[in-house]
């Protein structure tokens, strides 16, 4: 049960005056919540303004600088309504101060409202940008207007929040004001010595300052109120991760001690030798699994660094110990890709492999589930279907989760609940900067694969203006005629009136005029069977050019594809460009990546393309990506359970992250149930930052 003191923070948006169901949906969207039902008052409190409007400049009419925001104290002289039948002619209100005259100009104005707002003979305050025409000043649609007698509520410093289509700034501001007014006084959950040492305000004071800043300094990430709230956000995240870790490890792990015989068979079947970092990762994992404590390890490896083989060797150790292991991937394509890598090696060693995805139906699914339950299936590869309630395992010892950032922390718990405390290995091909590893995977030990397997070719990367498209097609024609294969990546699936980007379907049609039936197409809206068929045609060489959206970003492996063209590369993030480029360079042929862009480029886009040309090091690219666009999108979507931070900027608050992690561990060491005075206050913190799952873990023991 959520403590009653928090009730005012969790009222629905429709409880605020002026906010009906339709407006609530718009406000929720502006705050990044998925629906009005999902949004609460607390979300308004934690919505930071992104800039300020400063209305304190009061120069007088004659001294108003053009296009700058000023506030003027005016005497209203007369109204000049639009002529009858000519609504395109503006309505003007003429006024003056001691320095000169000005016209206030309104288009499509309501006369009655203007006569009430700006009565003739009254003194008023107006604020907005002044424009000068032929030496005469005018203010078109003032931002703010008030009678001098009502000026107490006239905001001289006005925070500006993110909006969405159809939502007015006034309604959002009024809702935030109401949320701040009804906020309860909350007990302190931070250590007093830490607060004093860092000169931080209390939570209530920090929220008040967030929404009533004195100047632009209060908007900086290092302003005391911002640092306070950033630390709260980081501490809530680290505390919930520490609780998950404790829960996952509470049940003792079963020590796994294979004899190495089957592993040796698999290793001898490999067409290459393991890299040093692969060997080191395998050693870390096998050592973890020999322990009584459950393994919870993150395996980070760049595109093509050989994570699947490391995972397979860990899974084989479980088979040697008489158990089962699963590998869960976020998509059907990726699951079947893993199966294609694993199955031949496993079968050479006499191990039975099963696949279980949502596509399996009827008798086929029933038979697969039966083989899993009986233990006949020793290695199981699949998607979310692996942890549905109807699926039971005979002896699950290890769960491997690929592309963890596509799954949430709590899905991770559901999967591990399937066995009697199986060990857990999480893999990601998204190179993640160290600060983000701490933020998203603070509950895990980490192994990194830093080398590419032997034989992998470097990828030559060039960027070209899209105006040189004919040159690219000519080069592609030469390459295809010599037997090479190419990906052509587009940002859209189908033609859209909203965008001038070339869609995947259009690009396929254009390329077919040159290459005929050699051009295939794959995108996310196709059925799984259609996608698989398109991929198989590309693999077999029936098609030589595969036009695709980012559906091929992760896990698609066609070793003899050696060219990738990425259209409108300026629209993609660095990490995504790096993932896409990793589709080539996987075979023996020298490979190339062409980044097509539409000029002019923004500074950020220039920096991205420059980094892509300079390096293939995914970890360096990830660090640069963090600098260029912050952590918000780096790890995937908000619902994945990874930090789409609201007030944290890891490029500024990285020092707070380590402190938060240490603080969370210390708290649970001295008060494991959060039952003491500070512990109870920290439960409030977890609710405020929507970490309710962690509270449920406490109750579940």
pLDDT per position as a tens digit, 591-610: 999 999 998 988 888 988 99
If pLDDT is split at 50, 70 and 90, which confidence band does 419 have? Answer: low
Is the separation of the CB atoms in 398 and 424 below 8 Å? Answer: yes
Highest mean pLDDT, choosing among 108-112, 252-256, 678-682: 678-682
- d(CA 206, CA 197) in angstroms, rounded, equals 16
- Alpha helices (runs of H) in 118-211, residue ranges in sequence order: 169-181, 192-198, 203-211
Range with the lowest mean pLDDT among 6-15, 276-285, 289-298, 494-503? 494-503
State the chain's mean pLDDT as an integer.
Answer: 87
pLDDT at 105: 95
* CATH 2.40.50.140 domain residues, the chain: 56-154
**Quick one: pLDDT band at residue 412, thresholds 50, 70, 90?**
low
Identify the top-confidence range among 31-35, 165-169, 248-252, 549-553: 165-169
Task: Supply the pLDDT for residue 258.
Answer: 83
- 179-213 pLDDT, tens digit per residue, is 999 999 999 999 999 999 999 999 999 999 999 99
How confident is residue 450, by pLDDT bands cut at 50, 70 and 90? confident
pLDDT at residue 124 tops 80: yes
319 touches 262 (CB < 8 A): yes
Dist CA 597 CA 556 (whole Å): 24
Residues 6+ apart with CB under 8 A from 150: none
The Cβ of residue 696 has, within 10 Å, a number of other Cβ atoms equal to 12
Question: How large is the average pLDDT for residues 499-509?
Answer: 79
Q: What is the CATH number of domain 261-449?
A: 3.40.50.300
pLDDT for the residue numbered 547: 93
Q: Which residues of 529-543 are buried (b: 16+ CB within 10 A; e: fewer)?
A: eebbebbebbbeeeb
What HEC string does 596-655 produce?
A: EECCCCCHHHHHHHHHHHHCCCHHHHHHHHHHHHCCCCCCCCHHHCCCCCCCCCHHHHHH
Question: Looking at the domain 459-615, which fold is it?
Answer: Rossmann fold (3.40.50)
Of 289 and 35, the structure prediction assigns the larger pLDDT to: 289
pTM: 0.66
In contact, 55 and 127? CB cutoff 8 Å: yes
Per-residue pLDDT band for 303 (boundaries 50, 70, 90) equals low
pLDDT tens-place string over residues 67-121: 899 999 999 999 999 988 887 899 999 999 999 999 999 998 889 999 999 999 9
Question: What's the farthest any 2 CA atoms get from each other in the chain?
Answer: 97
Q: Answer yes or no: are the C-beta atoms of 664 and 235 closer than 8 Å.
A: yes
Q: Any idea which fold 56-154 has?
A: OB fold (Dihydrolipoamide Acetyltransferase, E2P) (2.40.50)
pLDDT average, residue stretch 632-638:
37
Helices 276-289 + 307-320 axis angle, to 10: 30
Question: Which residues are within 8 A (CB) of 194 and not within 5 positions of it... i.e. 6 or more apart?
Answer: 200, 659, 663
Instruction: Note whether 569 and 463 are within 8 A (CB).
Output: yes
Q: Where in the chain is the domain with CATH 3.40.50.300?
A: 261-449, 459-615
The DSSP bridge pattern shows strands 123-133 and 144-147 to be antiparallel
Residue 416 has pLDDT above 60, yes or no: no
pLDDT score for 641: 35
- Nearest alpha carbon to residue 588 among 451, 454, 480, 477: 454
Sorting pLDDT into bands at 50, 70 and 90, what band is 474?
Answer: very high
Looking at residue 440, its pLDDT comes to 66
Of the chain, the percentage scoring pLDDT greater than 70 comes to 89
DSSP character at residue 66: T
Digit-coded pLDDT (tens) for 130-147? 999 888 999 999 999 999
Contact (Cβ atoms closer than 8 angstroms) between residue 376 and residue 395: no
The gap from C-alpha 562 to its chain's centroid, in whole angstroms, comes to 30
């Amino acid at each position: 049960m959520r403590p009653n003191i928090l009730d005012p923070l969790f009222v629905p948006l429709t409880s605020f005056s002026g906010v009906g169901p339709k407006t609530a949906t718009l406000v929720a969207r502006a705050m990044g919540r998925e629906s009005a039902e999902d949004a609460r008052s607390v979300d308004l409190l934690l919505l930071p303004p992104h800039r300020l409007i400063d209305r304190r400049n009061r120069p007088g009419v004659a001294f108003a600088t053009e296009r700058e925001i000023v506030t003027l104290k005016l005497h209203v002289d007369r109204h000049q309504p639009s002529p009858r039948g000519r609504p395109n002619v503006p309505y003007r209100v003429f006024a003056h101060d001691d320095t000169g005259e000005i016209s206030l100009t309104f288009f499509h104005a309501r006369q009655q409202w203007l006569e009430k707002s700006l009565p003739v003979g009254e003194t008023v305050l107006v604020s907005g940008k002044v424009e000068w025409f032929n030496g005469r000043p005018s203010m078109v649609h003032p931002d703010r207007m008030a009678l001098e007698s009502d000026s107490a509520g006239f905001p001289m410093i006005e925070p500006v929040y993110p909006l969405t289509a159809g939502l007015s700034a006034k309604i959002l501001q009024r809702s935030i004001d109401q949320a701040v007014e009804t906020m309860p006084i909350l007990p302190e959950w931070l250590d007093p010595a830490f607060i004093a040492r860092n000169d931080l305000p209390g939570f209530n004071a920090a929220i008040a300052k967030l929404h009533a800043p004195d100047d632009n300094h209060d908007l900086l990430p290092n302003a005391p109120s911002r640092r306070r709230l950033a630390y709260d956000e980081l501490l809530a995240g680290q505390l919930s991760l520490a609780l998950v870790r404790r829960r996952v490890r509470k049940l003792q792990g079963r020590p796994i001690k294979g004899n190495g015989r089957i592993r040796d068979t698999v290793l001898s079947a490999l067409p290459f030798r393991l890299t040093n970092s692969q060997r080191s990762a395998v050693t870390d994992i096998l050592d973890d699994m020999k322990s009584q404590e459950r393994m919870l390890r993150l395996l980070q490896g760049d595109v093509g660094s050989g994570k699947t083989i490391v995972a397979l060797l860990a899974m084989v150790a479980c088979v040697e110990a008489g158990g089962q292991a699963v590998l869960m991937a976020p998509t059907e394509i990726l699951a079947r890709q893993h199966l294609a890598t694993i199955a031949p090696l496993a079968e050479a060693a006499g191990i039975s492999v099963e696949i279980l995805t949502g596509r399996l139906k009827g008798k086929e699914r029933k038979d697969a589930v039966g083989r899993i339950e009986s233990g006949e299936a020793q290695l199981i590869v699949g998607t979310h279907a692996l942890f549905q309630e109807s699926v039971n395992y005979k002896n699950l010892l290890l769960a491997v989760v690929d592309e963890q950032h596509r799954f949430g922390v709590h899905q991770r718990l559901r999967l591990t609940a399937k066995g009697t405390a199986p060990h857990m290995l999480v893999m990601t091909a998204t190179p993640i900067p160290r600060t983000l590893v701490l933020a998203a995977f603070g509950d895990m030990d980490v192994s990194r694969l830093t080398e590419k397997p032997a034989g992998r070719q470097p990828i030559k990367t060039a960027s070209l203006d899209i105006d040189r498209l004919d040159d690219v097609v000519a080069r592609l024609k030469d390459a295809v005629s010599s037997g090479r294969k190419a990906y052509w990546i587009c940002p859209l699936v189908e033609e859209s009136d909203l965008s001038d980007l070339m869609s995947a379907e259009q690009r396929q049609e254009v390329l077919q005029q040159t290459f005929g039936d050699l051009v295939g197409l794959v995108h996310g809206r196709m059925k799984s069977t259609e996608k698989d068929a398109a991929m198989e045609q590309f693999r077999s060489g029936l098609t030589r050019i595969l036009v695709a959206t980012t559906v091929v970003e992760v896990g698609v492996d066609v070793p003899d594809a050696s060219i990738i063209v990425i259209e409108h590369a300026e629209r993609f993030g660095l990490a995504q460009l790096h993932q896409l480029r990793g589709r080539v360079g996987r075979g023996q042929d020298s490979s190339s990546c062409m980044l097509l862009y539409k000029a002019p480029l923004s500074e950020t886009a220039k920096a991205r393309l420059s980094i892509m040309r300079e390096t293939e090091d995914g970890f360096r690219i990830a660090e640069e990506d963090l600098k260029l666009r912050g952590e918000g999108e780096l790890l995937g979507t908000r619902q994945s359970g990874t930090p789409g931070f609201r007030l944290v900027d890891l490029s500024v608050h990285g020092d707070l992250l380590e402190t938060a992690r240490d603080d969370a561990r210390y708290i649970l060491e001295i008060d494991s149930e959060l039952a003491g005075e500070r512990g109870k206050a920290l439960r409030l913190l977890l609710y405020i930052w929507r970490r309710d799952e962690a509270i449920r873990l406490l109750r579940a023991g």
